[in-house]
Amino acid sequence: MRAALESLLRARKLDVTVTDAPGALAPPPERFAPAGGGGLDAALGGGFRRGHLSEVTGAASSGRTTIVVQALAAAAARGEAVALVDACDTFDPVSAAARGLDLARLLWVRESGDAGRALKAFSLILQAGGFGLAVLDLADVPAAALRRFPWPTWMRLARIIEGSETVALLVGSEHLARSARGVTVALEPSIVAWRGAVDRARLFGGVQSSPRIVGGRR
């Protein structure tokens, strides 16, 4: 009962205001949403932190989308509803389903390049709540367009999900924003794997990402 009440107070952000006694309410346990990859989860300490804004950055073909789809698939497999705001409408359901993503649990918002509208749609999804993972894919939006957003824009996103069970994830080609306990998964240029030595019989074998974790204050 006590745990339920504390959880309720935290959800309403009243855990600090109801009492002055330090430690009256135990600090909330870390809640992680596993990203679906063993190595990445280990590097993240269990997964992406719930209630925080994290990001996945990297150049083209560095494996950003693969990591995001893995995280979406893992959340959907846990029975959570997930959302993807696709700022440039580049999401490919066929290859995502092949990675194990349950498309029926994915709310897909297709935007045709307007980052402002994509941000507003993402904000609406976060405000609605109930999603385990919400992703805003800005990877193909020009950096100049993203720099026009004032800094508080990202902090407002972080504030919306604070204390909730939702993981908010930004995808971009360079660092955008993260909340205090959020992380940046920076992907270094990847190694491209090919199968077959002969030109005529060669097959593309995928990309091997090397993520570097930044932030995530413990």
Partner 1 sequence: MNGRVPSYDDLMPGIPDEVDARSTSQLALFLRDTVNGSNNARTSDPGELPAKDSSALFSGCSTPSLFACLRIANHAPTADCDRPASAQAPAEQVRLIAVARDFSPRVMMASAREVLLDVSGLGRLIGEPPAIAAALARSMKAAGITAQVAIAATQTAARLLAAQGPDSSMARFPGIPVIDLQELETLPPAMNHRDRARPYETFERWGIATLGDLVALPAAELSSRLGRRGVALQRLARGLDPRPFVPDGETPRYIGRLELEWPLETLEPLSFVLARLLEPLSAALERADRGAAAIRLELRLTTRALHARVLQLPAPMRDPRVLRTLLLLDLESNPPSAAVDVVTIELDPAPARITQFSLLERALPSPETLSTLTARLSALVGESRIGSAVLVDTHRPGAFAMVRFAPEARGANGAKRADGAEGAGAEGAGIEGAAVLRRQRVPPAIRVRVESGRPVYVAAARRGMPQGAVLQAAGPWRTSGGWWAASDAGRGNGIGPVPSPVSSKPAAAGDGGQPRRGEGGWNHDEWDVALTCGAVCRIFQDPASQRWFLEGLYD
Contact residues: partner 1, CB under 8 A? 59-66, 69, 76, 78-81, 89-112, 117, 120-121, 124-125, 128-132, 139-140, 142, 165, 189-190, 192-194, 196, 199, 202-207
CB of 9 or CB of 77, closer to partner 1:
77
Residue carrying structure tokens 């019989």: 201
Six-digit token pair at 212? 């570097």
Cβ atoms of residues 63 and 185 within 8 Å: no
Q: How far apart are CB 182 and partner 1 at their closest, in Å?
A: 21
- Measured distance CA(128)–CA(124) in Å, rounded: 6
CB of 16 or CB of 128, closer to partner 1:
128
CB of 184 or CB of 190, closer to partner 1:
190
Q: How far apart are CB 27 and partner 1 at their closest, in Å?
A: 22
Q: How far apart are CB 125 and partner 1 at their closest, in Å?
A: 7
Q: How far apart are CB 25 and partner 1 at their closest, in Å?
A: 22
CB of 126 or CB of 158, closer to partner 1:
126
Beta-sheet pairing, 106-110 with 81-86: parallel
Q: How far apart are CB 78 and partner 1 at their closest, in Å?
A: 7
Six-digit token pair at 217? 């204050």
CB of 120 or CB of 156, closer to partner 1:
120
On the 0-12 / 13-18 / 19+ scale of CB atoms within 10 A, 166 is buried
- Non-local (6+) Cβ contacts of 83 within 8 A are 106, 107, 108, 109, 125, 131, 133, 134, 135
- Measured distance CA(158)–CA(127) in Å, rounded: 11
